[in-house]
Structure 1
Amino acid sequence: MRSLPTIAAAAASLALACSQGGDAAPSLTMPSRAGHAQRWFPIVAGTPHATATCDDCHGAFDTFAKFDCIHCHTGDHADEAALTTRHGAVPGFQFASEACYGCHQSGVGVDHAKLFPIVAGTAHATAGCAECHVDPANRRTLGCAGCHDHEQAAMATAHAAVPDYAFDSARCVRCHAEAQVDRVAAHLPFGIAPGLKHSGSRAACLTCHPATRADKAWAADFAVKDCLVCHGDTETTSHHTQISGYAWATEACIRCHPTGVN
């Protein structure tokens, strides 16, 4: 059985951890601001909620699992009618703290234009948040295929000339990051239409364009091309022994074969 001094020392250690607001005792519900940002919500210096206290968000409840966003925000943020109007293009909007956090987990507004076009006049202007973001705990889990499930056969037909097509949401946004529809016939001057040298299995979008965009890590960067993944060094070099200045490099391939043919 532990002695009283030992128990007292342990209690003092825990009290010190609490008073410092640190993560020394991870079982306690008092993380540092950096720990809070890492686990739940950013409240570190430089963020909109840097001056928020525990009670500001959790003071009205007997558990830290509950929180209140609305009471702290003045002006439009505290005006249900004004906030509902501001979210007029967000079907299913709710004037509730849980809904605030569901869409604003970083504590700032959502500039959706940088992610995917949903403004008036675009194909997805009437889409509700929950229609695309099917997992409330992870906004990166998309439901493109769920919305278009009634069109699966039609989608397969439309992508008949795309060998690496898959009826998968992540694949949808990888090739259609701007909701654009790129036509095989318009892939010029480098032709990949049926019947051409680089059609069929030799025209896999993500094989020729394996890189992702700097601004959208989930999207293919179609400005970056890779010929070498299919055209090996030994075989390709042996076919160019009489070509002065030849180099086994994608830029050289495109420069001499801009249309994809000999």
Structure 2
Amino acid sequence: MRTVQTFVAAAAALALACSEGAGSAPSITMPSRAGHAQRWFPIVAGTPHATASCDDCHGAFDTFAKFDCIHCHTGDHADEAALTTRHAGVPDFRFASEACYGCHRSGVGVDHTKLFPIAAGDAHASAGCAECHVDPADRKVLGCAGCHDHEQATMATAHAAVPDYAFDSARCVRCHAEAQVDRVAAHLPFGIAPGLKHSGTRAACLTCHPATRADKAWAADFAVKDCLVCHGQTDTGSHHTQVAGYAWATDACIRCHPAGVH
């Protein structure tokens, strides 16, 4: 009886693994499209590879662990010279299927100009993909600090006037989303340089600019300012009892105090 029960349980588990809804389960033969998308590569409806068959990618091999991206793509994708030219700004580019998958795990191309400047002439033009994207499984994990580790002391000195500075990759791109270097001394007319009213702990970049950008959710929106986070309504109101039209609002603060002083 126990043998029969074991067989029934195994059969039920096998049926579940083969069903369309068990995309995360190991496949005995062929995974569902949903399962393939969840475990390896997106081929479900609405993705660029929705019509691809198993043989399109794996037909030339005796194992599904191998695949061929190049032969299916016509035009520039199948032209090594053209594709190499298209990837001129990618130092570690190779005309090989595994290299395609390494950078395009979602099956689509990447317009890096919308993310971070790496074109010819930019400061990071010579950086290889793997130098910045240290986790191949998650391109959002960056390695700015890892690439500049030999400059940590220098970077700390350069950010001496920035109280919320941290030697952390996410913080790097939050303040330098365009690879730009904003100087504290150039923060005018609202001065935050050492010795001024808003220097020191009151010059924290992300305290005054807490919002993030619509086009780059990981980057600070320096066009948005917030004075109220430091200047409480009760205390601020008590200093403006004789000021006609006073309002406890950031735009009102800056309009009357563009340089950050009384």
Query: Into which bin does the TM-score normalised by the smaller protein fall?
Result: 0.7 to 0.9
Question: Relative to structure 1, is the Cα distance of residues 31 and 188 closer, same or farther in structure 2, using a 3 angstrom cutoff?
Answer: farther
Structure 1 length normalisation: TM-score?
Answer: 0.87
Question: Relative to structure 1, is the Cα distance of residues 66 and 237 closer, same or farther in structure 2, using a 3 angstrom cutoff?
Answer: farther
CA–CA distance in structure 1, aligned partners of residues 244 and 51 of structure 2: 67
Question: Relative to structure 1, is the Cα distance of residues 218 and 25 closer, same or farther in structure 2, using a 3 angstrom cutoff?
Answer: closer
Matched, 1:48 2:48: yes
Deviates more, 1:7-16 or 1:197-206: 7-16
CA–CA distance in structure 1, aligned partners of residues 69 and 199 of structure 2: 54
CA–CA distance in structure 1, aligned partners of residues 252 and 54 of structure 2: 60
In the TM superposition, what are the counterparts of 1:1-262 in structure 2 within 5 Å? 1=1, 11=11, 18=18, 21-23=20-22, 26-28=25-27, 30-61=30-61, 63-262=63-262
Identity percentage over the alignment?
A: 85
C-alpha distance after superposition, 1:11-52 (max 9, x if no partner): 59956984x744378343655434543443332333321211
CA–CA distance in structure 2, aligned partners of residues 134 and 17 of structure 1: 33
Quote the RMSD (CA, aligned, Å): 2.6
CA–CA distance in structure 1, aligned partners of residues 210 and 130 of structure 2: 30
- Tell me if the contact between 1:42 and 1:49 (Cα under 8 Å) persists in the aligned partners: yes
Q: 1:223 offset after TM fit, Å?
A: 0.9
The alignment partner of 1:145 has SS state of: helix
Structure 2: which amino acid aligns with 1:56?
D
Q: 1:63 offset after TM fit, Å?
A: 4.9
Question: Relative to structure 1, is the Cα distance of residues 35 and 222 closer, same or farther in structure 2, using a 3 angstrom cutoff?
Answer: farther
Q: Which runs of 5+ in 1 are unaligned?
A: none
Q: 1:173 offset after TM fit, Å?
A: 0.6
CA–CA distance in structure 1, aligned partners of residues 13 and 150 of structure 2: 61
Structure 1: which amino acid aligns with 2:56?
D
Structure 2 length normalisation: TM-score?
Answer: 0.87
- Equivalent pairs, count: 261
- Tell me if the contact between 2:209 and 2:220 (Cα under 8 Å) persists in the aligned partners: yes
Deviates more, 1:36-45 or 1:139-148: 36-45
C-alpha distance after superposition, 1:45-69 (max 9, x if no partner): 3332121122322334455444321
Structure 2: which amino acid aligns with 1:236?
T
The alignment partner of 1:153 has SS state of: helix
CA–CA distance in structure 2, aligned partners of residues 156 and 103 of structure 1: 32
Question: Relative to structure 1, is the Cα distance of residues 189 and 38 closer, same or farther in structure 2, using a 3 angstrom cutoff?
Answer: farther
C-alpha distance after superposition, 1:198-254 (max 9, x if no partner): 011100001111111111111111111111111122212222222233222222222
Q: Which runs of 5+ in 2 are unaligned?
A: none
Deviates more, 1:46-55 or 1:115-124: 46-55
CA–CA distance in structure 2, aligned partners of residues 234 and 12 of structure 1: 67
